[in-house]
Amino acid sequence: MGSTAPATRHTEGSVLAALRSPKRLRIEILAGLVVALALIPEAISFSIIAGVDPRVGLFASFTMAVTISIVGGRRAMISAATGAVALVIAPVVRDYGLDYLIATVLLAGVLQIVLSVIGVARLMRFIPRSVMVGFVNALAILIFTAQIPHLIGVPWLVYPMVAIGIVIMVLLPKLSTVVPAPLVAIVLLTAATIVFSLNVPNVGDEGELPSSLPSWLIPDVPFTLETLRIIAPYALAMALVGLLESLMTAKLVDDITDTHSDKTREGWGQGVANIVTGFFGGMGGCAMIGQTMINVKASGARTRISTFLAGVFLLILVVGLGDIVALIPMAALVAVMTMVSVGTMDWHSIAPKTLRRMPIAETTVMVVTVAVTVATHNLAYGVLTGVLTAMVAFAHRVAHFTEVVKIGDADIDHDGDLDTRVYKVRGELFFASSNDLIYQFDYVDDPRNVVIDMSGAHIWDASTVATLDAITTKYESKGKNVEIVGLNAASEQRHDRLSGHLAGGH
């Protein structure tokens, strides 16, 4: 029984298994269609943020989704044009034009491949759970707040339409899961808008949809060091933001589906997808968390088929069926994204019972991650700030576990004088905990021989060695001898290599 579940989950994510299962194939196809519909207004709005024509964002979403479905490491995850990438590259478009944007996207793709190959994905292990929870909660808030502009200054009909869409998505899964509830909501609300000629904002109001297929494009920029100087900072920022958001999203999907993904492959896959996107004139992108939640959580997709079809359906919808797609009311998509927001939020993490039980440091890290992310509208900033906060909190907590105690009475020599004092040091010694170590000894009143027993401690860095050198030097200046004993193998090796060679210790 123990091996059945993993085998089932592995089969569930297999393309071949999905092709042999009509039920699974239906889920993947319909999920791809729902995601494609949700991608259209997002891609258009991100194009506006970046300062480019809507087709640049739409074509990027098509090429990103199709490419990552083949080369990516996380099944069922959606990659497309994103707001974080749009914010990074907007200055390039504003100051240098579209060709420099394309060059930036291409270089960012190359950098993502290089960073992934050298092991940047392994850094994910240093992201604490409290940061992940903050990341998820901030994402839920951003998804919801992004819908607010579509609810302000609009005809009153928009509000009941959004409410009806939400009711459909709440009640329909209790009756049937044959068709994804978000798709049913979009179709019914669109039909009602057309049949009753309702005057409400629609997808067509967001921007003009393209009428032709994307074509191969080589950026018209000089291949010089000056060009590299201009695009390199933006390309590096785009590469890092894209990798961070993609790897965080992949980890989130791992948790939701209880499966494992190849983060290194996902990283270089993102790079390949951005290179392909650049050569087709797209603005680049990374994993889209909101659309991924629609695909995985709301629609139940588990394979690469849904990701591939999301890109294909997107192209078919905007190029071949643009006139129909333009009629989809924004109220339907707002309802879908609102439900995604509610489903994404980790409500357990903010329950009063949980907050009372959780250590203050853990809650602080989560709140900082959420606050910075929401304030900057950049998940990368929030995660980095959360990780730094967690590091400081951890260092502060571990620093207080270090103690220095005197062991018994000092030994007395044959003349009746105090001869030897033994100190026992316990704890993990690094820069935060060892800086106060120097004040824990009685340099004036201790006898002429001092033994520092380190059998209960571990030396982690040069700061600790420098502090031990300073303690030894301080005793020697008063004519006293110091012997450090009990070091474990790793600590002794570090101490022997660095002791006496750190100027700060003397």
Measure Cα distances from 231 to 103, 275, 452 in Å.
Answer: 7, 15, 56
| Residue-level pLDDT at 228 | 95
pLDDT higher than threshold 90 for residue 267: yes
| Residue-level pLDDT at 417 | 54
d(CA 25, CA 18): 5
**What is the model's pTM?**
0.76
Residue 86: closest CA among 44, 115, 134, 140: 44
**Sign of the four-CA dihedral 349, 351, 355, 357:** negative
Q: Taking the chain, what is the end-to-end CA distance rounded to the nearest angstrom? A: 64
pLDDT higher than threshold 90 for residue 389: yes
pLDDT higher than threshold 80 for residue 44: yes
pLDDT higher than threshold 90 for residue 117: yes
d(CA 98, CA 93): 6
Average pLDDT over residues 141-160: 92
| Candidate from 40-49, 50-59, 226-235 with smallest mean pLDDT | 40-49
Q: Tokens for 391, please give them.
A: 């590091």
| Candidate from 118-127, 213-222, 461-470 with smallest mean pLDDT | 118-127
Beta bridge partners of 361: none
| Residue-level pLDDT at 196 | 93
Q: Tokens for 487, please give them.
A: 């070091």
| Residue-level pLDDT at 412 | 54
Average pLDDT over residues 344-366: 91
Give the E-state strand segments of 356-443 in sequence order: 403-406, 411-412, 418-429
pLDDT higher than threshold 60 for residue 357: yes
Mean pLDDT (the chain) is 89
pLDDT tier for residue 135 given thresholds of 50, 70 and 90: confident
pLDDT tier for residue 410 given thresholds of 50, 70 and 90: low
| Residue-level pLDDT at 250 | 93
Report the C-alpha dihedral over residues 440, 441, 442, 447, rounded to 10 degrees.
Answer: 160
Tell me the three state secondary structure of residue 458: strand
d(CA 86, CA 34): 23
pLDDT higher than threshold 70 for residue 2: no
Average pLDDT over residues 365-392: 90
| Residue-level pLDDT at 230 | 94
